[in-house]
Chain A
Amino acid sequence: MQLFVQRVFDGLQAGAIYAILALAIVIVFRASGMLNIAQGEIAMFTTFIAWNLFDVGLPWWASSVASLVIGFLVGAVLYRLLIVRLGGGHASPLAVVMVTIGLFLMLNDGAAVIWGTTAKPVPRIFGTGRVEIFGAGVAVQVLGLLAVLGVLVVVFGLLFQRTKLGLALRAVTSNQESAALAGIKVTTVLMIGWGLAGAIGSVAGSFTASGNFAVDRNMMQIVLIYAFAAATLGGFDSPLGAVLGGLIIGLVSELVVGYVAIVGPDLRLLPGFALVIIVLLVRPQGMFGSPKVVRA
């Protein structure tokens, strides 16, 4: 029992980070219909800026809080300066994906130029304490991470469902042209959408860095792979699906690797993706995604 509880928390720890980045990906996708390959790198870039604050003396948790704002700005500025000019919502989806791949490389190399290529040590956001739950030792960091994920889900749920901004975002998602005709400033709304995704992504960046004890420019790449899997599993247009997808993939990976002897740590990627394939075979739109209805 104790071992099982421990593995569940290990899975949730990994899964929560996938979930957060997946949430960022889904928000951009919902708002602008774009698959942002660079979402992980935006988070990495933001985390490096947060590291600068940490480096000049701010505690790491405070730097991580600040990175929410930084992430918002990085996301919004990238949208305003680059995406709106190069892709916007009008270019073909493939062209936009290419732009975000370019952005991916630009941010990765840019980080190397700005911060050098050495990993920058950072501590755990919630310290290295632990509590016992059903006999299992659970790091305070993990509980903190899960709490943060919970807060994100609630806050963004309310934002989308209960605010004017949320309404505007949903309107733009639903039909950009009609939204524009109704007086919504589509570009501004999309910029805010990218900013929100940048802010959420920064949380994934901070936690990934503090899980590795270092900010590194390649740290988000493996997370991005899992986050895409999470979004695919949950449905690309469902924020709740992305979160659940991330948690499920984290749990399945950890439990299968832990309990199925053939799938050792070296095959960690396997179980989560096997699950994605199975779900897609049954429900192509993902667990919570809405199927596209086409008028006959």
Chain B
Amino acid sequence: MTTPRWKGLAALLLAVTMIAAACGDRDDNGAADNGDIDNGDDPTEESTELANPEECDSYNGTEGVTDDTILIGNSLPQSGLYSIFDQVRIGIEAYFSFANDNGGVDGRDLELVSLDDQYLAERTRSNVEDLVSQQGVFALLGMVGTENNEAAQQYLEEQGLCVPNLSVATGYPGFGDPERDPWIINGLPNYALEAVAFAQYLKDNEPDATVSILAQNDAFGSSYVDAFEDAIEGTDITITERQTFDAAAEDTAQGQVTTLANDGADALLLAVTGLPCPNVLSSVSESGWDPLIYVTLTCSSKVLMTIAGDAAEGTLSTRATYDPGDPANAEEPAVIEFREQGAAAGLSDEDMDELNVAAGWGFAAYLVQLLEASEELDRATVMNTAWSQSGVEFGLNLEGLEWTTDGASDPFGINQLQFIRRTDGNWVPEGELVDYSDQLTAETGD
């Protein structure tokens, strides 16, 4: 049976699968090219005209809006290791249902079309093509992933299309540059803000800490790394070892953790997301290394932390919103309201315990207040309204958190964060809600 032909065939197949695997790798050229961001030198009146229809090849400001509906598009991972973010869609749909039951936006019902991209940027691109060019959505909302949103913007830019991409579920600093691209606005806190906050935490508590970094080898990872490097410049905090991790390969980061654990730094900045989070936390715990770990806000979801279990104990993260699944927050007015409205919209208790569902809910709540605040339902008007909001409260944002934007001088709605620490299987707040935005440098946005 064993003929040389088989060997050749096997080799051929091997080559084909290798090529296929290589093609699946994501391109990380987009890393943190934030351009030069001016720190508030622009006259403020300009900030209301950031989105200018004249700069679009084809502009249809009211596409997707009919007398009784507003069509909204979305693409996120509904399958694969990152499918946890499909919960964002559940949250958005629930809020739409709640809003529609309460009169919609000026009598118009919100409708969501959501497509699966498996966290693969090239698929996001084709999804956006479908959503915008075929289905004619008015705006995109709550799209997950830095590279994914970059791919979306690249497509829209190439086609000369001007479509609002609102509350993107990424805090990539590069999307906080309305002078370069006024059609996309972040929904999460700036990743750089998180990194700066963690640097501040170290400055305050372990001023001569050695730090290891494990980062995704994409724009998400480098957002944290670049901002952290900037923030510790001139301090006694040193980065002693750094490793990267390929988010596109369904593989573990065991070897990287071994390298880091061997170095044995005081602290570990973990710039990863999705299921690799609990995976790495377990590997670190199994290695016997016990650093102070910071996990990204995107990792702090209940599902991921439950998977990590004891390995997550003592881990540090930050928050800008209440975690509705944490019993400690049960009496917060925003949480009580979310629970009531969410239940009415058909969310299960289990769903409402999830941070990603709550995030989707928040994105949709943001959209509704934004559409209502806009003078007209026109794409450019909505975008310009988004760039000049002040002190808005919505969704599950922490009490005292004011969503404020001011064009290029303050492109991120969230400027404040509060530290949380994993204690006995729950996140426990540490300290107050602090505004870190003044510590961001020009390179890292804001």
Chain A residues at the B interface, C-beta cutoff of 8 Å:
2-3, 6-7, 10, 13-14, 33, 35, 37, 93-94, 97, 112, 116-119, 121, 123-124, 128, 130, 132, 137-139, 141, 173, 211-214, 216-219, 221-222, 224-225, 228-229, 231-232, 236-237, 254, 257-258, 264-266, 268-269, 273, 276, 280, 284-285, 289-290, 292
Contacts and interface: CB of A to CB of B under 8 A. Distances in A.
Contact of B86 (A94, A118, A138): A118
Given A6-B262, A269-B21, A128 B255 contact: no
B18 interface: yes
Interface string B18-33: 1001100100000000
A128 B311 contact: yes
A147 B288 CA distance: 22
Interface in B262-303: 262, 275, 278-279, 282-283, 285-289, 303
B205 interface: no
With a 10 A CB-CB cut-off, give which of B2, B3, B244, B288 has the most chain A CB atoms: B2
Nearest to B306: A121
A228 B18 CA distance: 11
Given A33-B1, A212-B252, A236 B7 contact: yes
A229 B17 CA distance: 11
Contacts of A264: 244
Contacts of A290: 2
B442 interface: no
Contact of A292 (B2, B13, B217, B307): B2
Nearest to A11: B255
A137 B254 CA distance: 12
A214 B204 CA distance: 37
B243 interface: yes
A218 B256 CA distance: 22
B328 interface: no
Interface residues on B, range: 35 or more
B55 interface: no
B278 A213 contact: yes
Interface in B105-126: 116
B344 interface: no
A214 B81 CA distance: 8
A221 B7 CA distance: 20
Contacts of A117: 78-80, 83, 116
Given A128-B285, A212-B250, A285-B7, A236 B78 contact: no
Contact of A121 (B21, B287, B307): B307
A228 B6 CA distance: 13
Nearest to A232: B10
Nearest to A30: B1
A97 B14 CA distance: 13
B440 interface: no
Contacts of B21: 221-222, 225, 269
A266 B246 contact: yes
Given A221-B250, A273-B18, A118 B78 contact: yes
With a 10 A CB-CB cut-off, give which of B79, B275, B303 has the most chain A CB atoms: B79
Interface string B27-66: 0000000000000000000000000000000000000000
Interface in B238-256: 243-246, 249-256
B258 A10 contact: yes
Interface string B326-369: 00000000000000000000000000000000000000000000
Contacts of A93: 5-6, 9
B2 A237 contact: yes
Nearest to A273: B18
Enumerate the 4 nearest inter-chain pairs by beta-carbon distance, A residue then B residue, closest first.
A117-B79, A137-B288, A33-B1, A118-B83
Contact of B252 (A137, A211, A266): A211
A148 B83 CA distance: 31
Contacts of B22: 269
Contact of B1 (A37, A173, A214, A221): A173
B255 A217 contact: no
